[in-house]
Structure 1
Amino acid sequence: MRDWLLGLMLLLCVPCPVQAQPDDISTWVALPPETLRGWRVEATAQRILITPEQPPTPQLQVREVLVLLTVAQSSLNWILEGMLPVLRNQRVRVGLTLYKLGTGREEQERMLALADSGQFDLIVAMGSDATRFLYNRFGNQPTPVVALCKAPELWLGFEEGASQQAKPDNMAFVSLSLSPDVQLHYLQELLGPLKALTVVYDRRNQSTVEVEAEAMRRLSARDGFQLLELAVEGKRGAEETLSEQLPRMARAMRQIDPDGRHSLFWVTTSSAVYDELERIDRYSEGIPVLGSVREAVREGNSSAVMSIGVPFKSAGQLSARYMLEVLGSRLPASRLPMGVISPPDLAIHLRRAQQLDIKLPFHFLEQASSLYDLDGRLVRQDGQPAVSAPAASP
């Protein structure tokens, strides 16, 4: 009891920073009605509460979960779209309290005090920065943690044969990314031996640099294709950088591969990049655009040809199952295996493939969980037939 009061006093004593407009998270959650069925959302600039509409009972109390997030607004909603239906109508009733983890020392100390206050049964780290923060500052604490981040087995040193670090007993991990070697296998089956690849990423997104960009450097050195890098500096400068640099990159790839049939632009999971997909497609100059994020493939004509990766919605579903397992188990969270979604999720846009004269292997079409037809309409979603709006004009 004394420790709980001490944590609460520390939380109250640390002054709340003045919230700048970019840190106002009150509008970050925008979910379809079906996802929100059975949930109540209350939002302020500092935090978002998502609680069950049905009141608790003596036999079924709400288990409180603190969510520290650093992911962008769009990916947050996709994760929640997968997470909330799994958490709904379960024998374990869950309430979520979402806070944005800032970069300032005082704000981070305030979040650490909140995590250590004893009022939460579980903490979810949503994004690589939040995972790194809790891994460094909250490892082996009594409160369990479920962390969603890109390739935790790589940058946390868990992969087989690497210098092993002991996983904190209180942490379980779900990966938001796919093995780059698997992605390259699919790319080579689609386009043949690669000659040139431009990886487009956000330099400010540390996990993207460490995991995705670095992986492409390794693969290009191993497999002999020419790697070009196009880095933006966050969302604010992405539009100008991409408009200026994309045509130059396309010309450089044409010099290596004049027909452009063995080259591509690779869109990473940086939100500053995939949010600019329409611009990337417009300036690609006939060179295919593919990516590791499902949301790069979309209705209409401005779309990637294909995505090969882990959809945020599926990661949300898996993380919800991990949350329920941790809340219902007395075993340490570290006993759960690394959460990896396999086989990879494919989303395919037939219209873009036809326009670029790309021949799709038949088993790609069989495996694809999302499929857009020759009119650019969504006809398969999550492996099931989809009802789509009328096709957009070319």
Structure 2
Amino acid sequence: MNKRRLLKMNVICVSIVSLFLFSFSLSAVSSDWPDWVGETVKVKAEDDWTFEGKNDELHIAPRKSNSTIWVIVSRKATSYDTALSTMLNVYQQEFDSVSFNVVKLPKTDAELDQLLEEAEQRAQLLYTVGSKATVAVHRQYQGKKLPVVSVNAKDPVLMGLIDEYQGSGDNFAFTSLNLPANVTLSFLLKYMPELSQIGVLYARTNQSAYITQFLPLQQEAERRGIRVLGFEVDESMEDQTLERVMASEISALQSQDTNLDNSLLWLTGSSSLLARVEEINGLSQNLPLLTVVPEAVNGDEHSALMSVGVSFVNNAHQAALYGIRILRDGEKAGDLPVGVISPPDISISFRQAKRLEKAVPLVLLEMASDVYSENGSVVRSQGMSVERQ
């Protein structure tokens, strides 16, 4: 039997039966430790094994064997698929044995309570994928028994879930897709030093994007004398469709920057808008489209020009490592600081730069982790140059 198969065993039990070195009654056997086995075994091995004695058997099982992880997902989304796939890869490489149970976020509080009660009985760790699931579970499960780690969610401090970045102090550990607004703005100014206006695109239904990405950037930019306009999109309202919002708000930008030379568009992490980059580019009147989401930049014809943010992959990787530290190393979820990736992930599409006839400053190219050439081919990936055959 190879090592991999051994690691995947759910329970390892060693039964020591009828080991009588002295004549004594079975009724004298302790329920905690049989007196027919020397306690030296327990003392030397109790850090890695659990022991349970019963009559003429002693069950020995690994303390960290086959942990069960529950994952709560609110809906189908490409970003959530990326997060889950990344975590599976990390756990496969870093953790001896683990199984995952992925469940959909219930629609009612009562159903969520029931799900959390079941998870508490069957799991050793819980992940919440996305801001909606994170907020819902935190509201109903804060301070309870099961450790919880957020993934693919916005800043927990800005969302009002915790007060400080040093840690929750309870059963939650958070990671964040957000950068501090001053960091984001500093990179926008590196791209466009004479920046005077920013049009920020967000979906009206995505409150987490509004609270953690639009409002902080607006406050920071306006403090520096940069005008910020909200491009709030809601396809359920006739006057707030993407097409109408783009037309009206770009017209507003032109009122102070006729040729739009010192203006840009900033796309938040609103999933519904990330799926419409092609339309946004088509309606942008050649305004450069920058975004917080690295995955929105690629070598395709329809891509954002540049991203400055936290990739779904890196965020999920960090969330997986937090889970491993809790399960394998015994760290407390509440002691882990909010996971913020630094420096940020920067992706650049020179195909888009050529289309827009917009130069990309060398300083950003030097810092970029992912770069796509004018023909869309990958020049640099995850900070490493890609060699051509």
Confirm whether residue 245 of structure 1 aligns to residue 245 of structure 2: yes
SS class of match (2:149): strand
Distance 2:240 2:230 in 1: 16
- Select 2:163's aligned residue among 158, 166, 180: 158
Match of 2:202 in 1: 201
Distance 2:110 2:386 in 1: 47
Confirm whether residue 146 of structure 1 aligns to residue 120 of structure 2: no
Deviations 1:66-85 (A, max 9, x none): 11123651111221232222
- Select 2:140's aligned residue among 104, 113, 137: 137
In the TM superposition, what are the counterparts of 1:94-133 in structure 2 within 5 Å? 94-116=98-120, 118-133=121-136
Would you say the 8 A contact 2:232–2:245 is kept in 1?
no
The aligned amino acid for 1:120 is A
Would you say the 8 A contact 2:234–2:242 is kept in 1?
no
Distance 2:96 2:178 in 1: 28
Distance 1:245 1:70 in 2: 28
Match of 2:319 in 1: 319
Taking only aligned residues, the RMSD between alpha carbons, in angstroms, comes to 2.7
Structure 2 unaligned runs (5+)?
A: 1-5, 13-61
Distance 1:310 1:102 in 2: 28
In the TM superposition, what are the counterparts of 1:165-176 in structure 2 within 5 Å? 167-176=168-177
Structure 1 unaligned runs (5+)?
A: 1-51, 389-394
Distance 2:282 2:9 in 1: 50
The aligned amino acid for 1:171 is F
Change (3 A) 1:205 1:240: closer
Match of 1:88 in 2: 92
Would you say the 8 A contact 2:209–2:270 is kept in 1?
yes
Would you say the 8 A contact 2:80–2:130 is kept in 1?
no
Distance 2:352 2:186 in 1: 21
Change (3 A) 1:249 1:53: farther
In the TM superposition, what are the counterparts of 1:1-394 in structure 2 within 5 Å? 56=10, 58=12, 61-70=65-74, 72-116=76-120, 118-148=121-151, 149-155=153-159, 156-159=161-164, 167-233=168-234, 241-386=241-386
Would you say the 8 A contact 2:162–2:168 is kept in 1?
no
Distance 2:329 2:145 in 1: 14
Would you say the 8 A contact 1:351–1:373 is kept in 2?
yes
SS class of match (2:255): helix
The aligned amino acid for 2:205 is R
Would you say the 8 A contact 1:282–1:302 is kept in 2?
no
Distance 2:368 2:209 in 1: 25
**Paired residues, what number?**
332
Change (3 A) 1:237 1:124: farther
The aligned amino acid for 1:349 is S
Distance 2:109 2:272 in 1: 25
Change (3 A) 1:326 1:280: same
SS class of match (2:168): coil
Deviations 1:142-194 (A, max 9, x none): 2111122211132234337xxx9x82421111112211211110111111232
Would you say the 8 A contact 1:247–1:285 is kept in 2?
no
The aligned amino acid for 2:368 is A
Would you say the 8 A contact 1:173–1:338 is kept in 2?
yes
Q: In the TM superposition, what is the alpha-carbon distance from 1:55 to its structure 2 partner?
A: 5.2
Distance 2:285 2:305 in 1: 14
Change (3 A) 1:76 1:387: farther
Change (3 A) 1:106 1:89: same
TM-score (norm 1): 0.77
SS class of match (1:88): helix
Distance 1:240 1:224 in 2: 27
Q: In the TM superposition, what is the alpha-carbon distance from 1:369 to its structure 2 partner?
A: 1.1
Would you say the 8 A contact 1:310–1:341 is kept in 2?
yes
Q: In the TM superposition, what is the alpha-carbon distance from 1:362 to its structure 2 partner?
A: 1.7
Distance 1:249 1:183 in 2: 22
The aligned amino acid for 1:232 is V
Q: In the TM superposition, what is the alpha-carbon distance from 1:218 to its structure 2 partner?
A: 0.9
TM-score (norm 2): 0.78
Deviations 1:327-384 (A, max 9, x none): 0133421111221111000000112123323232223112211111011222322223
Deviations 1:265-317 (A, max 9, x none): 11100101111111001110111111000122122221111000000001111
Greater Cα radius of gyration, structure 1 or 2: 2
The alignment-based identity, stated in percent, is 30
Match of 2:22 in 1: none
Would you say the 8 A contact 2:71–2:100 is kept in 1?
yes
